[in-house]
Chains A and B, each alone.
Chain A
Amino acid sequence: MDQSATYIYGVVPQDIEVDAEATGVGDPPAPITSIRHGKIAALVSDVSPGRPLGTPKDLYAHEQLLNATAAEVPVLPIRFGAVLASREAVVEEFLAPYHDEFAAALTELEGRSQFVIKGRFVEETVLGEILAENPEAAQLREEISTLPEDAARDHRIRLGEIINQSIEAKRDADTAAMWDQVEPVTVMQTVRPPSHELDAVHMAVLVENTRQDDLDRAVEDLARKWADQVTLSLFGPMAPYDFIVSQEQDGE
């Protein structure tokens, strides 16, 4: 540890208190401190520039600190891996120039947090549905079982392609259904790209903290309806990762 740099997790209102026990990235994990400037503060910890970041432990530490924070106060989460040269640099180059922008965003987030809704098709069920709905798929399956493995390769690719397209169509339908289901109880929502080929729904929502129970109920209603077809999960509250965009990120 020749020299240390400053790792940044997020921006919070200046009047928060950091738990003395809270730790962040690094090995051993460094204690979290705050750097205040005006109405806002940055959550930071010291980090050694010599050690690469990105172990699973580091990733969890970053996420858990922000989620724990988000459960209590508004927070602007910063993407994993941001390190500045010093604590002074955090103020001079980050907090001071953008103070008003950050303060305004925090005000807007007051009393709100993010949840992620994730649904995964039950493979056996969804495949059975597709075979029942699509005669070509059912026929290909029959043919494949009678052909030698090498000869059936094209058939198998075609069958898989049909299945993939059918799953995409079902995903779109389920995502739309979930969107309509939760829209009345949320402030904003955004669809995330699927993270798995069997994803049925992947969506982030921003919700008033007072309406979390309503969100629970809305998702549960659909979960009951989809019981055999889709496994649903609801994650949160977490920091509003999906609803914070800096201008230069827009084009991504």
Chain B
Amino acid sequence: MTVQPVGSRPGGGVQKGSSGSGLADVIDTILDKGLVIDAYVSVSLIGIEILSIDARIVVASVDTYLRFAEATNRLDLTKSRKPGLPEVVQTVTSGGGGQQAPQPEQLEQLEQTKERSPLEAAGDKLSDFSDAVPRQSRQEG
């Protein structure tokens, strides 16, 4: 009843889909957006336990910087290689990131936890689910 024909068109270079490419896109959408029912209902809203999902707020961290530096270091500036070699591309799979232009003293890891308890379980599930999920790197301690 619902599926739009999704064709990749030659030369266009736009990936298409009915929704996001992975769980990360789903989370961006349905956990961050949409009507919040609490704003309307308070009497009989039931607080069913929701497995924790970390909403990834992208904030630049030292980890991010070091990772960028590392990636830069691996760059072959002689351009003897063609862009897009798999080993280079694969380095892009994880990490935090930068939203603000933070001063060094402001560097911190923000992690917003969407609701209630067992954090670990969902984290593991998410990482199992898709390597396209850009997970936030955590700082020790």
Contacts and interface: CB of A to CB of B under 8 A. Distances in A.
Nearest to A141: B72
Interface of B: 1-4, 9, 11-21, 23-41, 43-53, 56-58, 60, 62, 64-73, 75, 77, 79, 83-85, 88-89, 91-92, 95-99, 101, 104, 115, 118, 122, 125-126, 129, 134
Contacts of A248: 36, 39
B18 A94 contact: no
A235 B25 contact: yes
A131 B77 contact: yes
B118 to A, nearest CB: 8
A71 B30 contact: no
A187 B96 CA distance: 33
B29 A241 contact: yes
Contact of A239 (B12, B34, B72, B97): B34
Nearest to A216: B14
- List of 5 A-B pairs having minimum Cβ-Cβ separation, nearest first: A197-B97, A160-B65, A54-B51, A68-B2, A241-B33
Interface string A138-169: 00010011000000000111111101110110
B75 A124 contact: yes
B8 to A, nearest CB: 11
20 contacts: A53-B49, A53-B50, A54-B52, A63-B30, A80-B50, A116-B25, A123-B71, A124-B89, A161-B60, A164-B60, A164-B98, A165-B98, A168-B101, A193-B57, A195-B25, A197-B64, A197-B68, A198-B97, A233-B14, A233-B15
A124 B83 contact: yes
B39 A80 contact: no
Nearest to B33: A241
Given A168-B98, A196-B134, A5 B72 contact: no
A93 to B, nearest CB: 5
Nearest to A93: B41
B101 A233 contact: no
Contacts of B126: 56
B44 A196 contact: no
A195 B26 contact: no
Contact of A56 (B23, B68, B118): B23
A71 B18 CA distance: 9
Contact of B37 (A79, A141, A163, A247): A79
B48 A52 contact: yes
Interface string A102-118: 00000000000000101
A67 B44 contact: no
A85 B68 contact: no
Contacts of A84: 37, 41, 44-46
A163 B67 CA distance: 10
